[in-house]
């Protein structure tokens, strides 16, 4: 009996000792995850504005493809409450030419997104409840086209591991926006340049939904890394969408005027 009591007391004391250590480890992993995400943002600060051409390749599960031509404009926003502004406009094919998505991301509250549909001559505001929907039939959701500043998530570092020829941090991030279509995302970030290499997206049932691969990074202005290809694979449907970037230009003189919802009808 005495032996059992001693054993019980020993286990209880060990538990009392280990619990604070486990709690501290959780705090440390959260801080490390947040620090990594902040460093990703810090290294990309100061780009000002960018312009690029995109080719979007949609592939269904049987391998049939369709191709679209787009342009993307981005305006950096230095603000405690707001993220960057982005405009994506289709040039081809003819049936969707002129279709334009304007996105303003916010760290608190609902994001703002507007979709211009030229066939209807109508600007449609995207409801926050619909941000998880597919963007013009692609595997990218509307929320995937918002800027990804660290303030939009909580973070936790999980481990370090090899990712191809690189070594990556593996960080779990959870959207703070309750309207997000994702419960969490697993992000692989290379430890040398702090660039995202891969993201796994988990749906509201916490099932793996999509995987995004970033490929063929190039550095611009001796500082800013941009992937020349982003490949989003839907793990549940087998469909995929590839975005191929070209003609990247920085500091081209964009300003707030280019990103007004009232301009969408006349944007060329």
- For the cut 90, the answer to whether the pLDDT of residue 9 exceeds it is no
Angle at alpha carbon of residue 73, lines to 65 and 235, rounded to 5°: 35
Residue-wise pLDDT tens digits, 55-104: 999 999 999 999 999 999 999 998 777 889 999 999 999 999 999 999 99
Residue-wise pLDDT tens digits, 28-47: 999 999 999 999 999 999 99
- For the cut 90, the answer to whether the pLDDT of residue 131 exceeds it is no
The mean pLDDT value of the chain amounts to: 90
Give pTM, 2 decimals. 0.88
Residue-wise pLDDT tens digits, 203-224: 999 999 999 999 999 999 999 9
Q: How confident is the model at residue 130 (pLDDT cuts 50, 70, 90)?
A: confident
Write phi, then psi, for 93 (nearest 5 degrees): -75, 175
Fold classification of 43-266 (topology level): outer membrane lipoprotein receptor (LolB), chain A (2.50.20)
20-58: burial string, b at 16+ Cβ within 10 Å, e else? eeeeeeeeebeebbbebbeebeeebeebbbbbbebebbb
CA-CA distance, 18 to 157, in Å (whole number)? 20
Angle at alpha carbon of residue 96, lines to 213 and 77, rounded to 5°: 55
Tokens coding 228: 């020349």
- For the cut 60, the answer to whether the pLDDT of residue 11 exceeds it is no
Q: Where are the domains of the chain?
A: 43-266
């Amino acid at each position: 009996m005495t032996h059992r009591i001693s054993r019980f007391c020993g286990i209880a004391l060990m538990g009392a000792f280990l619990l604070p250590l486990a709690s501290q480890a959780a705090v440390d992993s959260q801080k490390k995850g947040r620090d990594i995400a902040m460093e990703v943002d810090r290294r990309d600060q100061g780009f000002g504005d960018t312009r690029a051409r995109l080719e979007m390749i949609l592939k269904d599960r049987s391998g049939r493809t369709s191709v679209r031509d787009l342009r993307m404009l981005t305006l950096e926003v230095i603000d405690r409450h707001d993220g960057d502004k982005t405009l994506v406009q289709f040039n081809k094919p003819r049936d969707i030419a002129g279709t334009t998505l304007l996105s303003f991301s916010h760290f608190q509250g609902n994001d703002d997104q507007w979709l211009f549909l030229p066939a209807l001559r109508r600007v449609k505001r995207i409801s926050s409840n619909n941000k998880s929907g597919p963007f013009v039939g692609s595997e990218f959701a509307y929320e995937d086209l918002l800027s990804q500043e660290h303030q939009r998530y909580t973070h936790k570092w999980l481990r370090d591991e090899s990712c191809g020829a690189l070594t990556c941090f593996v960080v779990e991030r959870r959207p703070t926006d309750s309207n997000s279509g994702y419960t969490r995302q697993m992000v692989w970030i290379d430890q040398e340049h702090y660039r995202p290499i891969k993201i796994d997206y988990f749906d509201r049932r916490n099932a793996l939904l999509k995987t995004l691969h970033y490929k063929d990074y190039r550095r611009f202005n001796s500082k800013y890394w941009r992937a020349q290809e982003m490949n989003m694979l839907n793990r549940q449907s087998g469909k995929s969408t590839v975005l191929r970037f070209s003609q990247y230009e920085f500091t081209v003189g964009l300003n707030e005027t280019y990103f007004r919802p009232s301009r969408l009808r006349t944007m060329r």
